[in-house]
Amino acid sequence: MMIVMKENASKEQIESVASKVESIGARAHISEGDVLTVIGAIGDTEQVAKLELDAAPGVDHVVPISKPYKLSSLQFKKGEKSIIDIDGHKIGGGHFGIIGGPCTVESLDQTIETAKACLDAGVTMLRGGAFKPRTSPYSFQGLGSEGLQILAKAKEETGLPIVTELMSIRDVDEVVEVADVIQIGARNMQNYNLLTEIGKTGKAALLKRGLSGTLEELLMAAEYILKEGTTDVMLCERGIRTYEPATRFTLDILAIPVLQGLTHLPVVVDPSHAAGRRDLVPPVSLAAAAAGADGIIVEAHPDPESALCDGPQALPTSEFAEYVEQVNRVAKLVGKTVKEK
């Protein structure tokens, strides 16, 4: 339930409504806009309804949110879309952004070379994994702390915000130091303790859809982060597991318009992990932009043949500028603002 306060509601009236909500064991999430203050009452809907808050001093009206996800619902922001804005690098709310970079940080040279190519191509943010969720425990697991330091250098060189994955609560402090956006990998979408700890950091997060996660489960996972106070969460469609072996996963293109109709959170698409093959990355990226995605997160490598992880799906950095230009062209066609080089 969402309690919309009157424009001239006093601080005391806002606090009084919040404490009534909390008195029945529900949670009051106060969001102060430029004009209006909205209090999200998160908890047992029937109990909250019994409070009859419509009549409380300072309350303008009450909007019931029937969905199980509240803070991530489009209703919560009265239909207004959220923008993730990291020092002016924007994704969402009409801003289309490309997050590019290596799957995995392998060395300083490989990362800086990729980061520079991404910057020249006009990406909005830089991705790169230091902690890698590998299917085989015998595969390269990422450089860990050393990888984070390399990402920090790449940020210094390019000024691009860093998107990097956190796999374990153990590493949260270290990752927060370097990351501008904490990536939650598909395999951790329902790792609720991890989501809660990430929410507590207040950092922006990029939450990937689980291999078999429904869209409602994805939104509920985002709710775990938002309920701790973080306001910036991007959702990522990265392909789900189906019976079709021709591609690595099956990109659910319809997830884009469905999510856009349900949530204010930016929706980005990862064509690389969905396709598993670099030749399929450009066409599916164009489709995602055309279907209304707010952005793309895509893998690139200076020499994909030698990549330690996900080489077959990486775009060569030599072809990256052309790729970004094509995707941006489609995003502009559907009315998005893209980053000008």
* Sign, Cα dihedral of 84, 90, 96, 101: negative
> Nearest to residue 310, comparing CAs of 302, 301, 319?
301
Residues numbered 177-236 forming contacts with ligand PEP, rule: CB under 6 A: 185-187, 208
As measured in angstroms, the least distance from the Cβ of 259 to ligand PEP is: 16
Q: How many residues bind Mn ion (CB under 5 A)?
A: 2
Residue 10, SS3 per DSSP: coil
Which of 252-275 are b and which e, b meaning 16 or more Cβ less than 10 Å from the residue's Cβ? Answer: bbebbeebbebbbbbbbbbbbbbb
The residue nearest Mn ion at its CB is 103
> Nearest to residue 205, comparing CAs of 94, 278, 191?
191
Through-space distance between the first and last CA atoms of the chain, rounded to whole angstroms: 43
Residues numbered 251-270 forming contacts with Mn ion, rule: CB under 5 A: none
Residues numbered 96-135 forming contacts with Mn ion, rule: CB under 5 A: 103
Give dist(CA 173, CA 335) in Å, integer: 39
Structure tokens that stand for 244 in this block: 């079709």
Residues numbered 66-85 forming contacts with ligand PEP, rule: CB under 6 A: none
* Sign, Cα dihedral of 175, 231, 52, 68: negative
The residue nearest ligand PEP at its CB is 185
Residues numbered 255-284 forming contacts with ligand PEP, rule: CB under 6 A: 270, 273
Binding range to Mn ion, per CB under 5 A, among 3-11, 40-48, 254-262, 302-310: 302-310
Residue 185 contact partner, candidates Mn ion, ligand PEP, none, CB within 5 to 8 A by sort of partner: ligand PEP
Select 14 or 181, whichever has its Cβ closest to ligand PEP: 181
Query: Which residue stretches of the chain are H helix?
Result: 11-23, 45-50, 108-121, 145-158, 172-178, 192-201, 215-226, 255-262, 271-275, 281-290, 320-333
Residues numbered 121-140 forming contacts with ligand PEP, rule: CB under 6 A: 129, 133
Select 106 or 310, whichever has its Cβ closest to Mn ion: 310
Select 51 or 308, whichever has its Cβ closest to ligand PEP: 308
Select 103 or 262, whichever has its Cβ closest to Mn ion: 103
Which of 310, 320, 324, 327 binds Mn ion (CB under 5 A)? It is 310
Q: Which spans of this chain sit near Mn ion (rule: CB under 5 A)?
A: 103, 310
Q: Which spans of this chain sit near ligand PEP (rule: CB under 6 A)?
A: 103, 129, 133, 185-187, 208, 238, 270, 273
